[in-house]
Structure 1
Amino acid sequence: MPAPTLTTARLVLRQLREDDAPALFAVLSDPEVMTWWSSGPHASLAETADYVKCNAAEGQGFLCWAITAGDDAALGWVILIDGKPDVKEIGYILRRDRWGGGIAREAVARVIDHGFGEMKLRRIFADTDPENPGSIGLLERLGFQREGRLRGEWQTHIGVRDSLIYGLLRDEWILEKTR
């Protein structure tokens, strides 16, 4: 099942497609963007094309939305990955020249709304590197609570890394939205 199209005041979130690879090469080849990613910067468009093809495929246990603004070009994505029943992990990435403008917050918040609304999830969690202040700040601004630290959780291109786990429950999200 493809990810349903979701909209906000500025954004259209649509199913990630294989033809998004050229636009996303700018994201996935940027060393600064990829610092905290589980893999290093992409060296070629072919590498990005393979990566995007996997993330765009349906029926793999996740929904992946391309973030677009004003046109159909992908600026990044938001993904919900299957976990336990009624629980999903959220992940996101955004082109560096769009950082700081609230796009990631707007896109992630819209996917959270969809997850707790239409999908009737009870919990959404995120896994982020302890040294990634941008992601930590975004999660905390959205009402996620730090739940724990997994030591030596990931082997990445920058070495073995710990993970911070952040969680958000449906009732907390509803309360956060009314503030």
Structure 2
Amino acid sequence: MPLFARFKLNNIESIFNDFPELETEGFKLRKLKKDDAKDIWDIYQNKDIATYDRAPFIRDEESAKDFIEELSELYEERIRIDWAIEDKRISKVIGLIVLFNISLVDSRAEVGYVLNRDFTNRGIMKYILSWLVDFSFNYAGIHKLEANINTGNISSIKVCESAGFEKEGTRKAHCFNKRTGIYMDNYVYGLINNRWDIIIERFE
């Protein structure tokens, strides 16, 4: 009788059936709307983002709307899920956080995040990332989260490490920066859900 391993808990597909919105007293993680275009444009006017990331080229509110529509389509295609980070106190989208490169077979996903520079150095992204880790492990049943961060992106590295991610290695000349013409090194970070388990069954 062959052995077959299955997940004890894996709700990854459910996040594509009904967009999960998360809310605390101060912040909300929700689906992006066309009305968020100005806030998204504000975020990506920070040209430093492109130094370490393949940031989308958003030149105005109209291109921000196109970007929002593209992310919505990728969600509908079950490829990735992008949350708007809304500061409820001022009703403003101050950042984005995403699960992408999702593997249902391996119960694994990669996380990425960006924050409006006017809201940095306040511990906000550390809080949001830790919140997403809790959701990913305890609701979605993800086994492992990963992050790929440019070796020079010190602030993002600090956020990742503060949320419990461990450095697993370095990818040399991993990403090509079209703005600088330089290949960039990335650190690979990972965080494993130790409560994750599998069930081994026998089939005739």
CA separation in 2, counterparts of 1:20 and 1:40? 16
Q: Residue 19 of structure 1: CA displacement?
A: 2.5
* 1:31 alignment partner, SS class: coil
Distance (whole Å) between structure 2 residues aligned to residue 9 and residue 168 of structure 1: 26
1:50 is displaced (CA, Å) by: 1.8
2:76 aligns with 59
Q: Which amino acid aligns with 1:84?
A: S
Amino acid at match of 1:83: I
Matched letter for residue 152 of structure 2: E
Does 1:37 find its partner at 2:20?
A: no
- 5+ residue gaps, structure 1: 173-179
The residue that corresponds to 1:177 in the other structure is none
CA distances 1:12-50 after superposition (whole Å, capped 9, x unpaired): 111122331211101112112332221366333333222
4+ long deviations beyond 4 Å:
none
- Is 1:68 matched up with 2:86? yes
- Which secondary structure does the structure 2 equivalent of 1:75 belong to? strand
Query: Which structure exhibits the higher relative contact order, with contacts defined as CA atoms closer than 8 Å and separated by 6 or more residues?
Result: 2
> 1:3·1:65 contact (CA, 8 Å) conserved in 2?
no
**Partner residue, 1:132:** 153
User: Does the 8 Å CA contact 2:49/2:55 hold for their aligned counterparts?
Assistant: no
Q: How far does residue 137 in structure 1 lie from its aligned partner after superposition?
A: 0.5
Residue 9 of structure 1: CA displacement?
Answer: 3.6
Alignment of structure 1 residues 3-22 onto 2, 5 Å: 3-22=19-38
Rounded Cα–Cα distance in structure 2 between residues aligned with 1:34 and 1:13: 24
SS of 1:53's equivalent? Answer: helix
Contact 2:97 2:112 (8 Å CA) reproduced: yes
Cα 1:32/1:146, change in 2 over 3 Å: same
Letter in 1 for 2:43: V
Question: What TM-score do you get using the length of structure 1 for normalisation?
Answer: 0.87
Q: Could you tell me the TM-score, scaled by structure 2's length?
A: 0.77
Task: Identify the match of residue 184 of structure 2 among 135, 158, 161.
Answer: 161
Give the aligned residue type for 2:45: S
RMSD: 1.8
Distance 2:34 2:175 in 1: 27
Larger Rg: 2
